[in-house]
Structure 1
């Protein structure tokens, strides 16, 4: 009887810039059959082919993360990414859809994570999904006969979660045989955070500026009063967030609290630009006394979320806010910095700040007072 010897290698993941350590396990048969076993982000051990050439991505954030590696292997996407459901007007708010629009549109519309026949018909080698629940992931795998790699969409760029994000990049890289690409992403992201930290360390207390961000998208909607006390472009720069740090997810803030806190700057998420402008006009009798509005210091930023977090846009917003609040400290060409970040996430594409701005109709910059007064 032919016995298999299985070697288990524990891969120690060291995240640069002091963000912590994470690990996942890779198991490979020594008989060169090519079968491997990876432990996904949900803690499931999943056996996958030696070579993964065709993948399906379903649920919020899955296609985004895989697109950072190789969009050409994606043969199936869910209806939200295909554009057959959701808001057509908001489709391009998800940055990766602008970077790879034609390729995404050419993939098969499999519907959703429970569209078992449609997924099976793609003959994919693996399924990437951010669907939660081990039982649900196992059910998808059992009913499609295709290995399911569970990812996490609920990951933020901060010191607590960057470790998990880096772990996911390395997991996707291992599944696709693109370890070098994973390391390139992890290093590039950590280098950007290190650069932001260097700028902030050179700032003084007098450089801090009371700031408010509005229009954050969650649950597919947002408005002027939807904000968060945990906003990366403020915490990594000299923005002094007027909202209390009570939750990760955007929440509704009281109008009186905004007025009382008197922010010097207001930043509007482009995902809900029109709605925020309308509210500032409608509520101008009260909001008009806020220093940011009275002094014309209202700025637009790239969409923080659409079909989960736009990680690349979030990083660009960090550099944008820094350059707006303290240009003498954050002294770089923002367009060049943004293009550099887009190329880190979407290498070899024509993706630039200008092209993304054109696709969504708004970009980063000072808002004309006539739009909100």
Structure 2
């Protein structure tokens, strides 16, 4: 009797092992790790900058069973969160934020929500392996590439996550849409590429937090996609493509046109109150050639906003080539495609109309 029961149990165990392997698939993540994922995962969590954004882009937010506390504390400026307030009701799985990058998460709140897959960004493979071993849950590393940029890793990550979550068609749609917009931007500015003598600068770029006019990105995608270099390229960079330009150096550059990223706009306005003499000395200030954009980098790159900002920059610098573009309509088209909601209005309420002048001159008149 005992022997028969043991044989039966052993047979059941073999069946379980066999069924697990035939119903699972090996994926190579963005950290070059081979990870076995069970078929048809239905419960996921997202750890690290921008991870949740990618899952929302895939229209898979209904699979998310927990979110980082950082997402709830700072609800504005990130379209994926603004478009889906239902995510605020999900339990917290940890603090999140820049301080949590590439650190071992507290597994207790993670295990409580019982995810089938953990998606992470900016986590080294060794740590991802450790988290996977300790939790018993597959960990998939996704990537945006370098901070505050747009690199092909973003699209590759969307394709990977799309395969895992059964959203392959949606991932292909996103890749095709991004490429079509980039092609449109390039074609509109092809004749002007390399021929503009304007010194154009962008300040207020977020980098592990909000910063003022001194914070810039040399590989600023809205500039790159329309063929305009950031004239801060003339200065040495100390942190990859991100650079803090002191006020003296910015005065020496004296840009013809300055764009202010919405994520740093409040800090720039506060700085203006303290250093009016500096701002008034800038050529762009004298000529009213300072414009605001929506936040490009907020918990890493807002892909849809980067595209929208590129159209705004193009319309300001090359108005004749973008004469047919209504920025509000174009922004809502792009937001609706990526996150399912028309968000131009709420974004403009928070950061001002896209491509508008900041209220420097009005304050000077008062």
| C-alpha distance in structure 1 between counterparts of 2:316 and 2:48, whole Å | 35
Q: What displacement does 1:313 show?
A: 0.8
1:95 matched to 2:79: yes
The 8 Å contact of residues 214 and 224 in structure 1, kept in 2 or not, is answered as yes
Counterpart in 2 of 1:243? 232
The 8 Å contact of residues 141 and 147 in structure 1, kept in 2 or not, is answered as yes
Counterpart in 2 of 1:135? 126
The 8 Å contact of residues 147 and 300 in structure 2, kept in 1 or not, is answered as no
Counterpart in 2 of 1:325? 317
1:305 matched to 2:297: yes
Q: What displacement does 1:78 show?
A: 1.6
* TM-score normalised per structure 2: 0.84
Deviates more, 1:201-210 or 1:311-320: 201-210
Which of 66, 90, 95 lines up with 1:76 in the alignment? 66
Counterpart in 1 of 2:101? none
Deviations 1:130-161 (A, max 9, x none): 141112101111121111111124347978x2
The 8 Å contact of residues 149 and 301 in structure 2, kept in 1 or not, is answered as no
1:213 matched to 2:202: yes
Unaligned runs of 5+ in 2: 1-10, 12-17, 96-103
Counterpart in 2 of 1:63? 52
| C-alpha distance in structure 1 between counterparts of 2:175 and 2:284, whole Å | 36
1:131/1:252 CA distance change after superposition, 3 Å: closer
Deviates more, 1:363-372 or 1:111-120: 363-372
| C-alpha distance in structure 2 between counterparts of 1:31 and 1:91, whole Å | 39
| C-alpha distance in structure 2 between counterparts of 1:31 and 1:297, whole Å | 62
1:145-294 paired onto structure 2 within 5 Å: 145-155=136-146, 161-162=151-152, 164-203=153-192, 207-237=196-226, 239-244=228-233, 246=237, 248-294=240-286
Q: What displacement does 1:167 show?
A: 1.3
| C-alpha distance in structure 2 between counterparts of 1:236 and 1:33, whole Å | 45
Larger Cα-atom Rg: 2
1:242/1:207 CA distance change after superposition, 3 Å: closer
Figure out how many residues of one structure are paired with residues of the other and give that number: 335
| C-alpha distance in structure 1 between counterparts of 2:197 and 2:320, whole Å | 13
| C-alpha distance in structure 2 between counterparts of 1:184 and 1:269, whole Å | 28
Q: What displacement does 1:228 show?
A: 2.2
CA RMSD of aligned residues (A): 2.5
| C-alpha distance in structure 1 between counterparts of 2:121 and 2:348, whole Å | 28
| C-alpha distance in structure 2 between counterparts of 1:116 and 1:123, whole Å | 11
The 8 Å contact of residues 141 and 148 in structure 1, kept in 2 or not, is answered as yes
1:206/1:41 CA distance change after superposition, 3 Å: closer
Deviations 1:233-274 (A, max 9, x none): 222225442201745553211322222222111111111212
Q: What displacement does 1:184 show?
A: 0.2
Deviates more, 1:230-239 or 1:300-309: 230-239
The 8 Å contact of residues 47 and 68 in structure 2, kept in 1 or not, is answered as yes
SS in 2 for 1:109: coil
| C-alpha distance in structure 2 between counterparts of 1:356 and 1:114, whole Å | 32
* Structure showing the higher strand proportion among its residues: 1
The 8 Å contact of residues 239 and 325 in structure 1, kept in 2 or not, is answered as no
| C-alpha distance in structure 2 between counterparts of 1:220 and 1:94, whole Å | 14
* Structure showing the higher helix proportion among its residues: 2
Q: What displacement does 1:287 show?
A: 3.1
Deviations 1:291-340 (A, max 9, x none): 21011121110111111111111111111000011110122111121112
| C-alpha distance in structure 1 between counterparts of 2:109 and 2:131, whole Å | 12
SS in 1 for 2:118: strand
The 8 Å contact of residues 148 and 217 in structure 2, kept in 1 or not, is answered as no
Counterpart in 2 of 1:144? 135
1:105 matched to 2:96: no
